[in-house]
Amino acid sequence: MDIIVCVKRVPDTNEADIQISGNFINTKGLPFDVNEWDKYAVEEAVRLKEKYGGTVTAITIGDSESDDALRRAFATGADAAVRVSDDIFNGSDAVASAKILAGAISDIKHDLVLFGAQASDDGYGATGQAAAAILGLPYASLVIKLEADNGKIRATRELEAGMNEVVELPLPALLTIQSGINEPRYISIMGIRKASSKEIKVLSAGEISVNTAEIGNNSGTKTEKLFLPPVLKQTEFLTGSVDEIAVKLAQILKDKGGTF
């Protein structure tokens, strides 16, 4: 089974003091890592290769610093890596990014394409689905379990309220992987060092099948304003009897625009 897995290098903002520069987060001084959901996707791709045979190719969009994400994929067990890199890609939204990745994917033999369910920097959760539509592939999102059999993929999807859905798709197919589907293996420093010697193929916009009039600053959506949430009043504890608390809560909700 030949598998393509898409990965993204993202800033780690969990414990950082975020600063806004124009319509972008100022990433200067921030640590970077592979997007969390993509780590699970890479691990799942490698496990499928180990079980069924085949190859794993990791793909990312970005400059040379994004090679870190591909090196980690190599260290996990990927066989090849591709970075699509061009200044014209800057400013691409989720759908434009999907068009770029689909342009690279279409030229690589594949039975299965995996994406992380979403990215921690923008949270769109739309790139994988858009790529499936562009490539004309059947797809399933938020996959928490999968297995292949006789040219088909059986995927368990996570739904709301603790419910799951099982779907069966013909190959080739595209899946977006939910965190928790597996336990990503430990990547040692030695593994990263060994991966540093492996070749990463770099492709420009002119070397993939993509309409440059629909990507980058020509994307369908644009960010008008980016800002941090305002600091509001601290948590208020309501005291009194159950009836008194209910009355106070109802009044707060009414003052905030709630209707009853």
* pLDDT, average across residues 122-142: 94
Domains along the chain with CATH numbers: 2-218 (3.40.50.620)
Which tops the pLDDT comparison, 19 or 146? 146
Tell me whether residue 88 is exposed, middle or buried, using C-beta atoms within 10 angstroms of its C-beta: 0 to 12, 13 to 18, 19 or more: middle
Q: What is the mean pLDDT of residues 103-128?
A: 94
pLDDT for the residue 65: 94
Q: Is the pLDDT of residue 35 over 90?
A: yes
Confidence of residue 252 (pLDDT cuts 50, 70, 90): confident
Residue 118: φ, ψ to 5°:
-160, 175
Indicate whether 251 pLDDT > 80. yes
Distance in angstroms (rounded) separating the CA atoms of residues 125 and 114: 13
Report whether pLDDT(52) > 90.
yes
Predicted local confidence at residue 74, as pLDDT: 96
pLDDT higher than threshold 90 for residue 16: no
Cα–Cα distance for residue pair 56/39, rounded to 1 Å: 14
Look at residues 89, 112, 108, 88 and name the one whose alpha carbon lies nearest to residue 8.
Answer: 89
Work out the pLDDT band at 193, boundaries 50, 70, 90: confident
- Quote the pLDDT of residue 260: 61
Q: Which residues pair with 59 in a beta bridge?
A: 6, 82
Q: What are phi and psi of 109, to 5 degrees?
A: -60, 130
Read off the pLDDT band of 259 (50, 70, 90). low
